[in-house]
Structure 1
Amino acid sequence: MFIYRLFLNFAAFPLVLLLMIRCLKGTEDWADFWQRFGKPVALKRPAQKWLWVHAASNGELQSAKPILDALAARYGQNSLLITCNSLSGRLWAKELGYHAALSPLDFRWAQRRFMKAYSIAAHVTFEAELWPNRIAILAAAGIPVTALGARMSARGQNLWRRFPKLSAKLLNAIAYLQPQDAGSYQRFKGLGIDPEKMGPVLNWKSLYQPQTIDLDPKKRRNICLAASTHPGEDEIILKAFGLVRQTWPELQLIIAPRHPKRGAEIADLILSQGWRLQRYSQDQASGPEKVDVILADTLGEMPKWYAASGLCIVGGAFKDHGGHTPYEPAAYECALITGPHTSNFSAEYETLALNKAALRAADAEALAKALSSLKTPSAQQNLAQRATKALSHDTDMSIIMDVLEHLMPRSNTDLA
């Protein structure tokens, strides 16, 4: 732990400086700043005990919803404390009716400040990263820590192997770890975790349920969504869109950037190419017949865009960001197209490839060809149905829930 804590000490100054700059720019406010260092949100019942559920951001929070629903049914919604790393995740947790806060950074003093304010009875985390100080402090206090949907990449395993004492202490402190894929399962075993502590392989994103079930293929056939795009990808997608529009003039494009704050620069890029633009953060009144491209630079509205689109280009894969989830667009029966960089969901995209359930494209020309091959509603539906079938899971959820019930307090009276 010494080396890890030394690293945090070195990282503290630039991290604090970065967060302060975000506050000065108005990206966050000072209340957000202090929450990241463990300052609690005002409590209605300061003496109560909490079930602390951490989800990195919106995607993980959506994945955690089956667990949240089960815990809320058993203990009451007011017994759950939700933390997220992102402002959008915290906002959504609040909208769901939970007591929500930004997650404290993994400085020991910040974690202790947070846990002093909130009396924690048990902790469940939905995040790829495992935070050593948080886990060590909770375990030392006798508080069970459960890691659901945990992920360990080959690079991560190699890094942890350089610090065998730290990795052993971390994994020994976890009461239950459920990996999100078979590769992670083997890598956690290779790092020495007790196999008895490990649950079945399950990616919780596979449980995603669409908010809209009325999906009209005729309305969606000429709409393509580019979801969670990163810098450098919008140019590729817009070039492909221009090529396809020569033979498919009815096609419209929705660009939903991973980070909506990029809206202004993407809007300039779209306008510079002569496309009629609706920037949704500023104009929600324009009819679709009046625009070529919709820039969806808002938060929390991805279900709307998935439901509107017959095709989905999954971003983060045309530049090396590891790709984003295929589960959500597949749940909305979108025909899937992605790029070559899909390490974040390698098992899922391999399964999709084996089942011929998604298309891949490395550049704008290949992307244009892939889009053109999906011009008809039947082609879109066939690919979408194969993806839905390929990504379905057969894990018995009751196995995981039984373990959680054993680790959690017996009833809500134990949290009073």
Structure 2
Amino acid sequence: MLWLYNFGISLYKLLLQVASLFNSKAKLFLKGRKNLFHTISKRINPSEKHIWFHFASLGEFEQGRPVLENLKEIYPDKKIVITFFSPSGYEIRKDYAGAAGVFYLPLDTKKNAEEFVRLINPEIAIFTKYEFWYHYFSVLHRHNVPLFLISGIFRPNQLFFKWYGGFYRSMLECVNYFFVQNEESVRLLNSINIDNVSLSGDTRFDRVAENAQSPKHLQAIADFCGSSKVFIAGSTWPQDEQLIAMLIAMLIRENQDWKFIIAPHEIGAAHLDEITNLIPGITRYTRLEVINTDSNSRVLLIDNIGMLSSIYQYGDIAYIGGGFGAGIHNTLEAAAFGLPVIFGPKYDKFQEAKDLIRLGAAISISTPTALSAAFAKLQQDNSASAAAWNYVDIKKGSAQQILKYLKDFI
């Protein structure tokens, strides 16, 4: 099975090289890894021990951030190395001040894993949620470097739990301890004789609660919203935006006193133009900020990255994108501000989404009619906001539980 895994990594690299000819993310993926070991050797002293945090992307970084930053506060002299698999994480956090170095993770080959681990000399390694790389895990295990998975989540359909999944289960045997989000994950790991696991919850709750307590004030957003009720659509994709455009058109036609903010997941010029054409009279945030005046428009398009988690403080109802694709984006950032949320049908991989629906703080939709009905229901349901806020509040504390355990390994 190892030869097939190695072949898959090689094939993946080849496909990336082809895709990079017309896909900007693939191009960044390869460019960021060019001469990477030379870059690391100039930034990192291999004779010093480091704490290694790895994240798939930006969402996982925010998820693991409470552990990272609290650990740094407890051990200010410890040096931290951060790696990302995806450009969407690295490109935004490559200048993160809390680390000695932020790098792309080299592709998972035996040679790359050996060289990378030699260069950063990790004292411990912390992976977040669901990144499993055979060669990296094996090298860490051979070098007796403790490896931890935080905010892990497992599902029955994963290869680890199939009768033919022995190769993939061998990766899990390299992990010293699993901190997982739900009881199902505990049961699944126990079913394959993995007992070094505890239910710690999701560290994202700590992060979003912290953000909600001290959000960044955005004067241009506050001026735009004024005293109106505000519907915020965050991390949207084209199919989300089609539905939202219909809702906006209906509400404006009915003269309902709502304003709307759309923060798309992709902010390339072509996509922003598509949204502008889809929704007449929409105003772009950068224009609003430059002219420094209130806009007559009732719809605002966020055309940059990094603001959404603070924008939610100005909202009343949120729509979270991604539910018509691979899966919904971060619902907790909105819920932490007491916003009930709406999202598309693909949410089954997200425990928090299922919990919010059960509590009456979220509604899943798949049609324009369903979106309109969900909006009308949440607009009248005063308890939904309190349920969203309370859910985040009672789920805090995962980071402290993890840190207490990690102290014995640092």
Q: What interval of TM-score do these two structures reach, taking the shorter chain for normalisation?
A: 0.7 to 0.9
Question: Which stretch has the larger CA shift, 110-119 or 134-143?
Answer: 110-119
Structure 1 residue 46: Cα displacement: 4.7
Residues 176/294 of structure 1: CA separation in 2 closer, same or farther (3 Å cut): same
* Equivalent residues of 2:49, 2:121 under 8 A apart: yes
Identity, in percent, stands at 19
- Say if 1:106 and 1:134, in contact at 8 Å, map to a contact too: yes
Quote the residue 1:308 is aligned against. Answer: 314
Instruction: Provide the residue aligned with 1:360 in structure 2.
Output: 364
Distance 2:30 2:7 in 1: 27
2:136 aligned to which of 119, 134, 137: 134
Aligned pairs for 1:248-397 within 5 A: 248-261=255-268, 263-273=269-279, 275-280=280-285, 284-286=289-291, 287-317=293-323, 319-345=324-350, 347-375=351-379, 379=381, 382-391=383-392, 392-393=394-395
Give the match for residue 17 of structure 1: 18
Provide closer, same or farther for how the CA distance between residues 272 and 11 of structure 1 changes in structure 2, counting only shifts above 3 A: closer
TM-score (norm 1): 0.84
Structure 1 164/371 Cα, relative in aligned 2: closer, same or farther at 3 Å? closer
What is the match of residue 100 of structure 1? Answer: 102
What is the one-letter code of the residue matched to 2:111?
W
Query: Is the 8 Å Cα contact of residues 17 and 30 (structure 2) preserved in structure 1?
Result: no
Q: Is the 8 A contact 1:336 1:359 kept in 2?
A: yes
Residue 29 of structure 1, CA deviation: 8.3
- Partner SS for 1:290: coil
Contact 1:314 1:323 in 2 (8 A): yes
Q: For structure 2, which runs of at least 5 residues remain unmatched after alignment? A: none
Separation in 1, partners of 2:198, 2:36:
31
Are 1:84 and 2:59 counterparts?
no
| Partner Cα separation in structure 2 for residue 200 and residue 405 of structure 1 | 18
Cα 1:42–1:219 change in 2 (3 A) is farther
Rate the CA distance shift 1:84–1:9 in 2: closer, same or farther, 3 A: closer
User: For residues 62 and 347 of structure 2, what CA distance do their matches in structure 1 show?
Assistant: 21
Distance 1:93 1:33 in 2: 13
Contact 2:343 2:363 in 1 (8 A): yes
Match of 1:403 in 2: 405
Equivalent residue number for residue 233 of structure 2: 226
Do the aligned partners of residues 140 and 46 (structure 1) sit closer, same or farther apart at CA in structure 2, a change above 3 Å counting? Answer: closer
Q: Secondary structure at the match of 1:82?
A: strand
1:6, CA displacement in angstroms? 2.6
Counterpart in 2 of 1:42? 42
Q: Distance in 1 between matches of 2:64 and 2:35?
A: 22
35-44 or 296-305, which moves further after superposition? 35-44
1:253-286 C-alpha deviation (Å, 9 max, x unpaired): 222122223x53243343244x212233566335
Which string of whole-angstrom CA distances, capped at 9 and with x for unpartnered residues, describes residues 203-231 of structure 1? 11121222428899x94752211111123
1:11-36 per-residue CA deviation (whole Å, 9 max, x = no partner) reads 3311233346556x996387513267
Q: Secondary structure at the match of 1:33?
A: coil
- How far 1:77 moved relative to its partner? 6.1
The separation in 1 between residues aligned to 2:378 and 2:82, in whole angstroms, is: 41
Aligned twin of 1:413: none
Give yes or no for the alignment of 1:202 onto 2:192: no
Question: Matches of 1:20 and 1:115 in 2, distance apart?
Answer: 31
Q: For residues 395 and 232 of structure 1, do their structure 2 counterparts lie closer, same or farther at Cα, with a shift above 3 Å needed?
A: same
Q: Is the 8 A contact 1:38 1:111 kept in 2?
A: no
Cα offsets for 1:340-381 (capped at 9, x unmatched): 221231x323322222122332211221222234446xx4x5
Match of 1:6 in 2: 7
Q: What's the secondary structure of 1:232's corresponding residue?
A: helix
Contact 1:244–1:368 under 8 Å retained in 2: no
Aligned partners of 2:172 and 2:29: how far apart in 1?
A: 35
Judge conservation of contact 1:227–1:256 (CA < 8 Å) in 2. yes
CA distance in 2, matches of 1:179, 1:38: 36
- Aligned counterpart in structure 1 of residue 123 of structure 2, from 118, 121, 124: 121
**Preserved contact between residue 312 and residue 329 of structure 1 (Cα < 8 Å):** yes
Deviation digits for residues 154-176 of structure 1 (CA, Å, limit 9, x no counterpart): 3224x652543313321111101
Change beyond 3 A, Cα 1:374–1:174: closer
CA, structure 1 residues 264+22, in 2 after alignment: closer, same or farther (shift >3 Å)? closer
Any idea what SS the aligned residue of 2:93 has? helix
Asked if structure 2 preserves the Cα contact closer than 8 Å seen for 1:38 and 1:110, the reply is no
* Matched residue SS, 2:28: coil
* TM-superposed deviation, 1:198: 0.5
How many residues end up aligned between the 2 structures? 396
Q: Secondary structure at the match of 1:252?
A: strand
CA distance in structure 2 between the aligned counterparts of 1:351 and 1:220, rounded to whole angstroms: 31
> What TM-score does the superposition give when structure 2 sets the normalisation length?
0.85
Contact 2:21 2:27 in 1 (8 A): no
The question of whether the paired residues in 2 share the 8 Å contact of 1:54 and 1:82 is answered with yes
Q: CA deviation at 1:302?
A: 1.3
Unmatched 5+ stretches in structure 1: 409-416
Between stretches 282-291 and 173-182, larger displacement belongs to 282-291
Distance in 1, matches of 2:227 and 2:137, equals 46
* Alpha-carbon displacement from aligned partner over 1:370-416 (angstroms, at most 9, x marks no partner): 2234446xx4x5322111213432666554223211223xxxxxxxx
Q: Deviations over 1:157-203 (max 9, x none)?
A: 4x65254331332111110111122222222223x2421x1122411
Aligned to 1:411: none
Structure 1 332/41 Cα, relative in aligned 2: closer, same or farther at 3 Å? farther
Q: 2:246 pairs with 217, 232, 239, which one?
A: 239
Stretch deviating more after TM superposition (226-235 or 206-215):
206-215
